[in-house]
Structure 1
């Protein structure tokens, strides 16, 4: 069972989800699309899954300070569960861009001294397995989904479920208590466009203080749902996810960049983060489609676009 914590300001990243349980327990803390349906994880389910995975990782020998890598092609709740589980052990999460060349994958895994890795797809598993075979310090790669010859994170958690009892929970609680705000939480590697990737060391205090300070600046009066599609391995989206969890906002992950418009209609989010170029592409697509409409509709579309361009969120039009 997920336990509530004392009413204190979060100082470690994994405190955010328990803070949400105390103040804004959600039936849909995280959600993503599976076989055409939105699969939702409640706040309590996320904590329970993260604790179960943390125990399995502990039994696999992961200890405070160890590095655990993850590579995901699209944003998924499994990433957050892994993030919480790894950090709650005092270990360090190393998220990696999925589109790196093979030599850069190997460099990051070797340079970070990752002891195991999680990948989101069978394609990534096939790509990283040969690299892992040449890295004696990385003997295991786990997958999000089932893949031939691989062990999924759910199977990993299930393998330790028989010993996940009250004593195990006490061990995990003691490990969480040992993690200090100044401890290393994550290593974020640059994409390596100007040489070998560079690892940026960020502590729990770095991540939590940024999220808490920025929460009131980012959040509006409606705090129900957010749509996420920017890479979780980038600090921008990662900070926003921390803000959402801290503020009690449900996070819905878009299927991919090509389904954003469809997912926006389905989720009807109160907020989402993006980058200018993506907004430009959406605007260009709207312009292109409006030119093929019958004249009355085309005229209305042009009027609506002019109104949208004039919109000032600080001074809404009536």
Structure 2
């Protein structure tokens, strides 16, 4: 993943796509389930880039300027990747919304981030937000991605348009190349605490690029790999280790149809990489044990396995790599590597990440991937950094 002498070093997120497009224009970039044909469909990197140009022109035609925030409430899909890359490519700042959030919470994030544009799958999602909060003072436009008509739009306080009409409005636009610096914001990701409103974590281009590159040094991924994307893009883990790392390496990402189809999708897509959280692996573990229990003969052999999920998957010779991270660290801090994959640990720190443990046992981080701070919360930002600049995770370690 190091740059060759002919390549310019990558310092901003859109450069990942720029370089991969040069190397692998005809290779498949993304795959998703097509409801109309009832089959999987794919696009190449060049086809994706061609469609991306239309999105960027439409965004510029909407008077969304560099630095403006753009809220995205879309399921993982080719459209959600287009939205994110268009926003970043135009020097704007993505604000991913959580699909499972309440309408009131989504409305709060839109207003708190002062988002200028919102992408939603259907008008009903927008209507629910309007019912929860009738004032969106900074929002200029709502783009409905999955509908060709707006017959369900009800008394929208903000102009609303279908994706088809939005793209058409930008066709004659002459795209202007924005100036993007490594220290500019590349996203504001909201993470909820135990009390109060969610906080917006400000991640810069430098933060994300450094984390992607750090992951790439310890995880063997290349353009022949295939991801099955399951976690939402509002989850920084998925955003960095699946979505951006795939763009960086040229790997293909196929978007899962959701939790109910996950097992079937795994069988059909046959991914070489699957990124998830412990709860999903626990479900796989439970279903596997239930299936084996039906057969009876192997029940005693499996009962001898350590209860650790990591040991379970290693015993099946499935290369499960555990890791640790936080939204505030873009997110990966550590990951187990080949030859040192102890299933009871979270691995070693990435090459560009420093860690230390204070006298109270708290893990602290210093790295180029550590966030710029919390959006509009300078005091909260100050509280999570030590006087010598280390990020206080709040987690105990040994």
TM-score, scaled relative to structure 1: 0.85
Distance 2:233 2:113 in 1: 18
**CA positional deviation for 1:270:** 1.0
Aligned-residue RMSD, C-alpha: 2.7
Distance 1:204 1:220 in 2: 21
**CA positional deviation for 1:220:** 4.5
Higher RCO (C-alpha under 8 Å, 6+ residues apart): 1
SS of equivalent to 1:29:
strand
- Contact 2:148–2:164, Cα closer than 8 Å, also in 1: no
Distance 1:244 1:256 in 2: 20
Structure in which a larger fraction of residues adopt helix: 1
Distance 1:260 1:48 in 2: 30
Partner of 1:13: 13
Distance 2:140 2:22 in 1: 38
- Contact 1:222–1:270, Cα closer than 8 Å, also in 2: no
Distance 2:300 2:161 in 1: 51
Q: How does 1:1-318 map to 2 (within 5 A)?
A: 7-35=7-35, 36-72=38-74, 74-130=75-131, 133-146=134-147, 148-149=149-150, 151-161=161-171, 163-164=172-173, 168-169=174-175, 171=176, 174-175=177-178, 178-220=179-221, 223-240=224-241, 241-293=243-295, 299=298, 308-310=313-315, 311=317, 313=319, 314=338
**Structure 2 unaligned runs (5+)?**
1-5, 151-159, 306-311, 320-337, 340-398
**CA positional deviation for 1:102:** 2.8
**CA positional deviation for 1:192:** 4.9
**CA positional deviation for 1:123:** 3.6
SS of equivalent to 1:12:
coil
Distance 2:287 2:23 in 1: 41
1:21-54 alpha-carbon deviations (Å, 9 max, x no partner): 1123343201111122112121112222222111
**CA positional deviation for 1:231:** 1.4
- Contact 1:53–1:153, Cα closer than 8 Å, also in 2: no
- Contact 1:100–1:191, Cα closer than 8 Å, also in 2: no
Distance 1:199 1:127 in 2: 22
**CA positional deviation for 1:309:** 4.6
Partner of 1:3: none
**CA positional deviation for 1:18:** 1.4
1:39-77 alpha-carbon deviations (Å, 9 max, x no partner): 2121112222222111111111111111110112x3111
**CA positional deviation for 1:185:** 1.4
1:132-151 alpha-carbon deviations (Å, 9 max, x no partner): 75213214211221164163
Aligned length: 298
1:172-212 alpha-carbon deviations (Å, 9 max, x no partner): xx32xx11111111111113542101011111111111101
**Structure 1 unaligned runs (5+)?**
1-5
